[in-house]
Copies of this chain bind each other. A is one copy, B any other.
C-alpha cells in the first residue's frame, strides 16, 4: 500500500474513533418508468421512482450499504460508485464483466463500502448503456463532524449535469454495434439536476408511435436553485453526460473552484466551468448580484459542434418566484471548437497548499496509450495501441482470484498483455491513419503490486478528416496525479521533464484534449481489477478502455453474490 493510502486509512481510522462511523443504509428498487425530464415522454431507468436517483449522503469513514433490487424485468444491472476507491472491497466496484456479473432481474444485490474521504462523487449504471437511460446520481461525503474545510460557505448544494436522448439505449446500442455503424446523433437536450427543455414543436403530433411531448408538464419545469442574497454557496457540480463535454456558468456570477474529484484545489476563479463526464467540482458562488431578479444557470456543449440546445436552470434570488425567468437571453457558452480555454482550465487545477499529496518522484512503468478510432471486421471501434477492449463472460476478478479457475485462465481471456507503447516515432496523430492492424481483445495489463505507474494518453485524428475528440478518462479504484497536459504528440524523452511533480491535483477522471496528451501517475496499491476507460458511454461500448490487475493475491475471499455468469453458475453451498 502506498504511503498516501496508508495516511488516508490511518486518518480514516482516527476520525472513525473520533466521530463514530455510521452505517448509511439505502434500499433501491430499479425499474423502467416513463419520465418527461425535457417534456418528451420517454422510458427511463429510475431508482425508487426517481431519475436522477437519490443523493447518497454520508460522513467520511461511514459505511454505505445499498440494497439494489433489479426490477428491470429482462435486463441485468450493475451500479458503479464513481470515485469511491473500494479499498478492500474490489468486488463492490459495480463494473460488469470486471468486478461482478450483472444482477439478474428479480435479484437483490447488496453493495457495501466505506466512503473513506470527504468529497463529491457519483454513481451510475455500469452495464451496456443503461447510464444513458437515467440511472445516475451523486454521493456527497462530508468531513467528519468537528473537522473544518479550508474554505468557508454558508450552504451546500449540488447539481448533476447530464445529456438526454429521446431514443432508447437499446436503439443506441443496436446502432453502435451494427455493421455498418449507425450513429444515434447528438443528444436532444441537456439536463440540469434531471430537468431540461425540448422544443416539442420539433416532434409531430402524438400518434401511437411517437412519444408525447408536453412543454407544460411540471416534470420539465427548470431546476431552480434558491439563494439568499449575500450568502456564499458551495455548489457541487457533477457531470454524467453520455457524450457531451460541457461548459457550465451562472450568469453574472463568478465561481471559485475549490474541489475536484474529492481533492481540494488551489482556488481559482472562473466565469464558466468546463466539466467532462465523470468529473465533479465544488465551486463557491456568492449571491452578490442585483437581488431583484433571477439569473440563468446554463450548460452548453463544447468540443463537438453543438446541435443540442443550451440547458437551463434558474439561479433564484430569494424571495423572487423560483421559476420567474431572468430578463436576459441565456448565453450559448464559449466557442465549441476553441480548445485553448479548456486546456487552460486543465492546467489551472492544482492541489491546494497544505493538502498536497506529493507524487512519487519516479515511475516503475510507463504506458503510453494511443487513442484511435478503427474499423475492425467492418465494425467501428475505438482502440488503445490498436487494441479494442472486449470482455470475457467470466468477470476478470473471479477468473483471476478463484484458484480453482486459474488453470482455465487461457480459455477465459487472452493472456498476452496489450502493448505498453505504440510506435510514437512514426505515427502521425494529425492525419487519418490506416489502422489496419487493430484487433478486438480482452487482454489486460498486470501491474506489479505497490509499483508506480505512469500512463500517457495520446490523442489522434479520428477516421474523419481534421477531427480529434475530447475523451474524459476515468480510473476505477484509484486517484491519480495529473502530471501534465500537452498539445500534439507526447515525446517520452522530453515531455516528462515538464511534469508537475510539485503540486499536481489528484483526480479520478481527466480530459484528453483533441490532438493532445495527458500524463498521469498512480500507485498500484489497491488489490483488485480496475477499469480505466473513456467515460463517453458509446466510446466505452466501442472498446475504449483498458483493464489493470494489481495485487490479486491480496484480494480477500469473493462473495458469491457477484457471480452467476460465465463459469460462475452453480448452486450456492452455504
Interface residues of A (CB under 8 A from B): 31-34, 40, 43, 73-77, 97, 101-102, 104-108, 127-130, 166-171, 173-174, 177-178, 185, 188, 202-205, 207-211, 391, 393, 398, 402, 404-405, 408, 560-574
Q: Is the CB of B564 within 8 A of A564?
A: yes
Q: Is the CB of A101 within 8 A of B564?
A: yes
Q: How far is the CB of A108 from chain B (nearest CB, A)?
A: 8
Complex Cα distance, B409 from A571, in Å, reads 13
Q: A74-B75, A106-B393 are in contact. Are A569 and B211 (CB under 8 A)?
A: no
Complex Cα distance, B393 from A166, in Å, reads 32
Copies of this protein in the complex: 2
Contacts of A40 on B, CB cut-off 8 Å?
Answer: 209
Q: How far is the CB of A387 from chain B (nearest CB, A)?
A: 19
Contacts of A102 on B, CB cut-off 8 Å?
Answer: 74, 104-105
Q: Is the CB of A570 within 8 A of B567?
A: no
Which residue on B lies nearest to A211, using beta carbons?
A: B209
Question: Is the contact region of chain A dominated by helix, strand, or loop, or is it mixed?
Answer: loop
Q: A33-B174, A75-B76, A208-B166 are in contact. Are A391 and B106 (CB under 8 A)?
A: yes
Q: Is the CB of B393 within 8 A of A174?
A: no
Q: Is the CB of B101 within 8 A of A209?
A: no
Contacts of A562 on B, CB cut-off 8 Å?
Answer: 569
* Residue among A107, A188, A563, A571 with max Cβ neighbours from chain B (10 Å): A571
Complex Cα distance, B210 from A171, in Å, reads 12
Q: How far is the CB of A55 from chain B (nearest CB, A)?
A: 25
Complex Cα distance, B70 from A102, in Å, reads 14
Q: Name the contact of A572 in the complex, choosing from B185, B204, B567, B574 (C-beta under 8 A).
A: B567
Q: Is the CB of A210 within 8 A of B208?
A: no
Contacts of A564 on B, CB cut-off 8 Å?
Answer: 101, 104, 563-565, 568-569
Contacts of A31 on B, CB cut-off 8 Å?
Answer: 174, 177
Q: Is the CB of B208 within 8 A of A205?
A: no
Contacts of A572 on B, CB cut-off 8 Å?
Answer: 405, 567-570
Which residue on B lies nearest to A101, using beta carbons?
A: B104
Complex Cα distance, B500 from A537, in Å, reads 62
